[in-house]
Structures are given as structure tokens and as C-alpha cells.
Amino acid sequence: MKKLLIATLSTGLLLSANAQAEAPAAPAKAAMCVGCHAADGNSVVPNFPKLAGQHANYLEKQLKDFRDGFRKDATMATFAKGLTDAEIKELAAFYAAQTAK
Ligand code: HEC
């Protein structure tokens, strides 16, 4: 019984460690992006680009460019304008870690 309990507990720990390694928690600001880019960045609407699995450096640059006006898109400018460099880094890392579907 004790062995079973230990086995169950360690499996639980392993599972949660795996879940964390595979899917980092979505940053708070990702809630603003879900409607268009989907929760995991695999947008299903053709007008909205897929973000899942893109290189983090690329995503980071695009978000900064939208925010700072170097890449022009009225929609994305609205959503990028309030983001700090740190939030952009977090968002880019999150979408880069998702599996493209
Ligand atoms: C209302 C819909 C909408 C929302 C909400 C939105 N986006 Fe976008 N996003 C777009 C559209 C449309 C484009 C394509 C813009 C263009 O044509 O240049 C885009 C482009 C992008 C790109 C560039 C992708 C590429 O392949 O070059 C990134 C990165 C991005 N969005 C991230 C985000 C993030 C992060 C958020 C949340 C903070 C967000 N978007 C919220 C509609 C949206």
C-alpha cells in the first residue's frame, strides 16, 4: 500500500514536471491574443498568422516592430502598444515553444 502510494505520488510529480517542460504556462498578456491567434498560437482563421513554433527572435522582433511603428498593421499596433520588452520576450518564448499544427 505504501509502495503504491509512493509510486502514485512520483508518477504525479513526473507528469507535472513533464507538462511544464513541454508547455510553459501562457503569460498573462497572451489572454489578449487568444481571439485571433488561438490559445497555442495555431490560428485557424487564415487572416491571422500562426505563431506556434516560430523562432522566438522573429516573434520578438515583429512584436517590437508593431509596437514601435516599424511594421504597420492597425490591428497589431493596438495589441502590441502596451507591451513591455519583458512581456514581449515572454510571449515570444511561449509561442515559440508551442507545436505548430
Ligand atoms: C484582432 C486580432 C488580433 C489580435 C487580438 C492579436 N493579433 Fe497578432 N496579428 C493579427 C493580424 C491580422 C496579423 C497580421 C498583420 C500583418 O498583416 O502584418 C498579426 C500578426 C502578428 C504577428 C506577426 C506574425 C508573423 O508571422 O509575422 C505576431 C508575432 C503577433 N501577431 C502576435 C500577437 C500577440 C502576441 C498578440 C497578443 C498580445 C496578438 N498578436 C493579438 C491579428 C491579431
Cβ(8)–Cβ(69) below 8 Å: no
Residue 71 DSSP symbol: S
Structural domains of the chain sorted by starting position, each given as residue range(s) with its CATH number in brackets: 25-96 (1.10.760.10)
Residue 44 CA to chain centroid, in angstroms? 16
Res. 80 pLDDT band, cuts 50 70 90: very high
The pTM for the full model equals 0.84
pLDDT in tens, 26-69: 999 999 999 999 999 999 999 999 999 999 999 999 999 999 99
Q: What is the mean pLDDT of residues 12-30?
A: 65
Residue in 37, 62, 64, 68 to alter for ligand 1 test, most ligand atoms within 8 A of Cβ: 37
Say yes or no to pLDDT of 101 above 60. Answer: yes
Residue in 29, 48, 78 to alter for ligand 1 test, most ligand atoms within 8 A of Cβ: 48
pLDDT at residue 24, rounded to an integer: 76
| Contacting residues for 41 by C-beta, under 8 A, at least 6 apart | 50, 51, 52, 53, 54, 94, 95, 98, 100
Say yes or no to pLDDT of 11 above 90. Answer: no
Taking each helix axis from N to C end, the angle separating 56-68 and 85-96, rounded to the nearest 10 degrees, works out to 140
Q: Which residues line ligand 1 (CB under 6 A)?
A: 29, 32-33, 35-37, 47-49, 51, 59, 62-63, 73, 75-76, 79, 91
